[in-house]
């Protein structure tokens, strides 16, 4: 029994010693060769690890520019968007060439887009994605990325419209009708075509009815009736 216990303790001690052993640091070319080999096999997980070690131990090597971009791309492929964003931004600041600027602009905007929070939470990343795609369209009007950028702007604006409607409805339910009206008018002006007009017309008509503004009530009632003749909201108003 004692002999078994001692054997077990020895095994544990060896395990602890092995786990505490210092990591072997390879040479610059070794890490680079490792990364290339894994990359050629399609093993981006280990390629990323090798390249990250190269950047960690040799931050000013001849491979830094190439490896930093590859690492950012691997993180993006692994849906590690926040870390990819950090790498793309560093690359943009220190290494980006003129020929790469369009691509880097597109990738940073994508990182913000995929890392964005739901519309009812902090919208910093969502706003940065929107600005990034708009800058891409402005700076590179002939870019092959334009169709995707335009579609993602549409998605973002749809989410922002949803956020405006949610706030407007909340104000409406708490009888803060003036605040609700302002949100609804802002929504109609800034986010047309995202599917919220029907409800906005209805709620604006009801708000103006409460304010005893018959002309404004009729304006939005008629807009609702003409644009959505089968609207469920019309039955609530007749």
Q: Looking at residue 88, what is its pLDDT?
A: 97
Average pLDDT, stretch 54-70?
A: 95
Q: Looking at residue 24, what is its pLDDT?
A: 85
Q: In the Cβ-directed half-sphere of 106, how many Cα atoms lie within 13 Å?
A: 17
Average pLDDT, stretch 82-99?
A: 94
Torsional sign, CA 134, 136, 140, 142: negative
Determine the Cα–Cα distance for residues 119 and 194; give it in Å rounded to an integer. 14
Helix 44-57 crosses helix 64-77 at what angle (to 10 degrees)? 140
- Residue carrying the six token digits 């017309």: 201
Give the CA angle between residues 115, 118, 121 to the nearest 5°: 105
Higher-confidence residue of 235 and 146: namely 146
Residue 95, both tokens: 């290494």
In the chain the domains, ranked by start, together with CATH numbers, are 27-145 (1.25.40.10), 154-238 (1.25.40.10)
Average pLDDT, stretch 110-116?
A: 98
pLDDT digits (tens, 9 = 90+) for 171-214: 999 999 999 999 999 999 999 999 999 999 999 999 999 999 99
Q: Is the pTM of this model over 0.85?
A: no
């Amino acid at each position: 029994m004692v002999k078994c216990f001692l054997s077990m303790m020895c095994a544990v001690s060896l395990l602890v010693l092995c786990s505490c052993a210092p990591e072997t640091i390879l040479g610059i070319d070794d890490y680079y060769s490792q990364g290339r080999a894994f990359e050629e096999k399609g093993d981006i997980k280990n390629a990323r690890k090798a390249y990250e070690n190269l950047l960690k131990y040799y931050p000013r090597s001849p491979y830094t520019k190439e490896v930093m971009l590859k690492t950012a791309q691997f993180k993006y492929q692994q849906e590690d968007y926040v870390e990819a964003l950090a790498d793309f931004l560093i690359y943009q600041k220190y290494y980006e060439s003129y020929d790469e600027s369009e691509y880097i602009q597109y990738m940073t905007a994508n990182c913000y887009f995929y890392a964005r929070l739901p519309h009812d939470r902090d919208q910093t990343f969502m706003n940065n994605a929107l600005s990034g795609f708009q800058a891409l369209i402005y700076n590179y009007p002939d870019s092959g990325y334009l169709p995707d950028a335009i579609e993602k702007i549409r998605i973002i604006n749809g989410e922002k419209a949803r956020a405006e409607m949610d706030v407007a409805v909340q104000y409406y339910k708490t009888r803060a009708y003036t605040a609700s009206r302002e949100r609804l008018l802002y929504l109609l002006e800034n986010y047309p075509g995202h599917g919220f007009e029907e409800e906005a017309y209805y709620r604006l008509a009801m708000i103006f009815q409460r304010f005893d503004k018959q002309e404004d009530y009729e304006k939005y009632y008629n807009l609702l009736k003409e644009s959505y003749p089968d609207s469920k909201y019309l039955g609530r108003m007749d």
